[in-house]
Structure 1
Amino acid sequence: MRQAVGLPQGARVVAAMSGGVDSTVVAALLHKAGYDVVGVTLQLYDHGEALKKKGACCAGQDIHDARLAADTIGIPHYVLDYESRFKDAVIDQFADSYLKGQTPVPCIRCNQTVKFRDLLDVARDLGAEAMATGHYVRRATHGNRSQMRKAVDHSRDQSYFLFATTQDQLDYLRFPLADLEKPQVRGVAASLGLRIAAKPDSQDICFVPTGDYRTLIDRLRPQGREAGDIVHMDGRVLGRHSGITDYTIGQRRGLNVAVGEPLFVVKLDPEKRQVIVGPREALLTASLTLEETNWLGDQATIEEAARDGAPVLARVRSTRQPSPARLAFQDGAVQVVFDQGEEGVAPGQACVLYDQADDERVLGGGFIQSTTAVLA
């Protein structure tokens, strides 16, 4: 463990404890290895709502579990009320994205803001030399720089959700579970006598108690329920919809239009309140433009890499394999140009970049601002 963390025995390390098995095992292993461990848990949304949902995160039962785990391990533990910050940085942004016709990734926003920005500041204020989390991703040191790499267990790898981690943050963070598989982690928890050894994993959208995110969006942004037209990409009006927030790029079911061919949502136009549909081949994307980029590669900036036309592997959804592409720089923006058309690309999602010469290494990425279709 000391080799993985790279700090001398006795150094203070803040363990971000969500109440789940992964972060609890991290705190326990660090304590067992002789570190001065301080557990910190964030309360991110309403306790009452969270108690209604199994597999939630960062509220209700999970905070209780984290507190009990810290007592069992024998480390100090603090709960910080970040509910207001979480609402502003994650929940409101999530709802606003759907109004813009985008498909957001709230877990990335949470890591990017509340956890890896605000919580890191707290860890430094506590005098910690590092902060450790239960994420499945590797941190490797080459020279005086840290690299982010995929976890050994690719089925658990979370590098897609951590692409926005800056170089300074990566230097400070530690990921002790990077070389373990989930059954091993549960085995460690059981061997240490931790009661959460068999606790189910948390769900992706932790702040949606029922799993029905559209109900949340309707409550926060009722204007998303304005009706509009369902329009074929050739200009034909095929029907009506009751709100643009009901639709995402690539959606096929629930269109309620019949023209004798399978149709998919290929574009959303929030200004005109139009859901634009077309054949599956219309989903193929030739290139995309990035915004809010982050760079962990060897070049000084992602703009420099883009001007050089750097080859990359681009991953446009967490469930998709990366595809060969190259970076380009046009009209003051970084673009990703695919070697072949890529399907399932939606504005608001993240495009995470990996090294073509070393596909374990994360180079950074950005959020998808716009796309260019193969079928113009």
Structure 2
Amino acid sequence: MSGPEVIVGLSGGVDSSVAALLLKRQGRSVAGLFMQNWDEQDDSGCRAEEDRRDALRVAGLLGIPFFARNFAKEYWAGVFEHFLAEYRAGRTPNPDVLCNREIKFRTFLDEARALGAGRIATGHYARVDCLDGRWRLLRGVDAGKDQSYFLHQLGQEQLAATLFPIGHLPKAEVRRLAAEAGLPTAAKKDSTGICFIGERDFREFLSRWIPAQPGEIRDVRGQALGEHAGCWYYTLGQRGGLGLGGLRGRPQAPWYVVGKDVARNIVYVDQGEDSPWLMSRRAWTEPAHWVAGAPPGETFTCTAKTRYRQPDQDCQVRLDADGRLSVAFASPQRAVTPGQSLVLYRGEECLGGAVIAGTDAPEPGTAGSP
């Protein structure tokens, strides 16, 4: 007996449920597979067992085979250890990007092939096509839900084996289709944030792995204003959690994190959401990944996002000899953060991207102003 043609990553949410529904309606041989990527040992709110039951109910209603696999070991090695290392280094990582590259489109794809399937499908809001023999990653039609930013590390092998059945649909239509088909996930709330953190306070979670180490909060001139619990708990542009209200001789305006000195465990802050200490015109990255397998040129113009949901920013890109990128933006950018992903686009096509290594934002703690 041959395996299914396509295995859908059933997460227990509405998006993957409708992905499976549409593939079944197309007459494809479909199975569902639930991935458990984190071993729950507390009340994290990760809801893995609830999600598994919902995924099983969807598979039963659609009449498709159902598999469940525990990829927690692979997730720990491929995603979580890197997540902790980045925070220890004072950077702000994006585990969703790594999870897609290492788990959903590597470990899951390998498992699907072992089960006899030639392709996998997920409920991501993105699209894939093939033009002149080259597979392209395209934005989802619903601009508010587009997830190509998190998929930019995929390559030709993964895209050739991947279907995104809902990438052409707006979210409201996905909900409508789920309700019309009587799927038990039709009205289920979308998951937000990182699964292994769940509903808990982020700082409390991180302190389990990276213990608190109090240090000084200073203004951009180096004057001490207060104390923080550990500089790795803060990210550029952050407003909350500083405890700096009502400082004598200072304006009654919010404070924002504008820099960190990890070696000396200092967090620098300034007032004003668009503080000049947060602004940069240039960024440098680690070696880039290209969806096509190669860059479009040594220098080229395109648009970029330095964080999810950011509007596209015009930029000029230069490829260095070691594969790293030097990116010059057409307008100043706020809080471009090392460890996050800089993702490049030309129109609807996602070209690829890289992890941000640094910017030309002014360095706090020195005399003068930017």
Structures share a fold, TM > 0.5?
Answer: yes
Q: Report the AA paired with residue 305 of structure 2.
A: R
Partner of 2:366: none
Question: Which residue of 239, 246, 257 corresponds with 1:252?
Answer: 239
Residue from 318, 322, 335 that aligns with 1:328: 318
Q: Give the stretch that moved more between structures: 91-100 or 153-162.
A: 91-100
Instruction: Confirm or deny: 8 A CA contact 2:89 2:262 kept in the other structure.
Output: yes
How far 1:167 sits from its partner (Å)?
2.0
* Aligned equivalents of 1:164, 1:331: Cα separation in 2: 20
| Rounded Cα–Cα distance in structure 2 between residues aligned with 1:60 and 1:84 | 17
Query: Which residue number corresponds to residue 39 of structure 2?
Result: 46
The residue number in structure 2 matching 1:136 is 125
Secondary structure of 1:319 counterpart: coil
The equivalent of 1:3 in structure 2 is none
Does residue 1:295 correspond to 2:290, yes or no? yes
1:126 partnered with 2:115: yes
Match of 1:146 among 126, 135, 139: 135
Deviations 1:211-247 (A, max 9, x none): 312111111121xx11222233333333332211331
Within 1, Cα distance between the matches of 2:32 and 2:320?
46
**Aligned counterpart in structure 2 of residue 236 of structure 1, from 209, 223, 232:** 223
Residue aligned with 2:264, SS: coil
Contact 2:287/2:325 (<8 A) preserved: no
Q: CA deviation at 1:48?
A: 6.0
Q: 1:338 aligns with which of 319, 329, 347?
A: 329
How much has 1:47 moved relative to structure 2? 4.5
- Provide the C-alpha distance between the structure 2 equivalents of 1:315 and 1:238, rounded to a whole number of angstroms: 33
The answer for the alignment partner of 1:63 in structure 2 is: 52
What's the CA shift string for 1:244-291, capped at 9, x where partnerless? 133110123433443625543222222211112345111111211122
1:313·1:354 contact (CA, 8 Å) conserved in 2?
Answer: yes
Q: What is the count of residue pairs matched by the alignment?
A: 353
Matches within 5 A, 1:264-303: 264-278=256-270, 280-296=275-291, 301-302=294-295
Query: The residue matched to 1:240 in structure 2 has which SS?
Result: strand
CA distance in 1, matches of 2:23, 2:236: 43
> How much has 1:344 moved relative to structure 2?
2.2
- Local SS of the residue matching 2:208: helix
CA contact (8 A) 1:291 1:368 kept: yes
Q: Output the TM-score relative to the length of structure 1.
A: 0.87
Task: Name the counterpart of 2:365.
Answer: none
Counterpart Cα distance in 1 of 2:326 and 2:238: 25
1:330 and 1:114 map into 2 onto residues whose CA distance is 29
Kept in 2: contact 1:139–1:148 (CA 8 A): yes
Match for residue 361 of structure 1 among 329, 333, 349: 349
Q: Secondary structure at the match of 2:167?
A: coil
Quickly say closer, same or farther: Cα 1:331–1:139, change in 2 above 3 A. closer
Kindly state the Cα deviation for residue 49 of structure 1 after the two structures are TM-superposed.
4.1
User: Out of 69, 85, 90, which is 1:80 matched to?
Assistant: 69
Contact 1:49–1:209 (8 Å) recurs in 2:
no
Partner of 1:7: none
| Range that drifts further, 231-240 or 145-154 | 231-240
Q: What displacement does 1:330 show?
A: 4.5
Matched with 1:100 is 89
The answer as to whether partners of 1:317 and 1:344 remain within 8 angstroms in 2 is no
Distance 1:255 1:190 in 2: 44
Corresponding residue for residue 340 of structure 2: 349
Assess, with a 3 A threshold, how the Cα gap between structure 1 residues 47 and 232 changes in structure 2: closer, same or farther.
closer
**1:311 is aligned to 2:294:** no
| Residues 144 and 309 in structure 2, CA contact (< 8 A), matched pair in contact too | no
- Which stretch shows the higher mean deviation, 93-102 or 337-346? 93-102
- Residue 160 of structure 1 deviates from its aligned partner by 1.1
Root mean square deviation of aligned Cα: 2.2
Is the deviation greater in 234-243 or in 342-351?
234-243
Cα distance change of structure 1 residues 41 and 77 upon mapping to structure 2, 3 Å threshold: same
2:151 is aligned, of 140, 159, 162, to: 162
Percent same amino acid at aligned positions?
35
TM-score (norm. length: structure 2): 0.89
CA distance in structure 2 between the aligned counterparts of 1:38 and 1:252, rounded to whole angstroms: 45
Matched residue type, 2:25? K
Higher helix share: 1
CA distance in 2, matches of 1:240, 1:183: 46
Gaps of 5+ in 2: 363-368
* Contact 1:214–1:245 under 8 Å retained in 2: no
| Local SS of the residue matching 1:31 | helix
What residue identity is the alignment partner of 1:215?
Answer: E
1:240 maps to amino acid: E
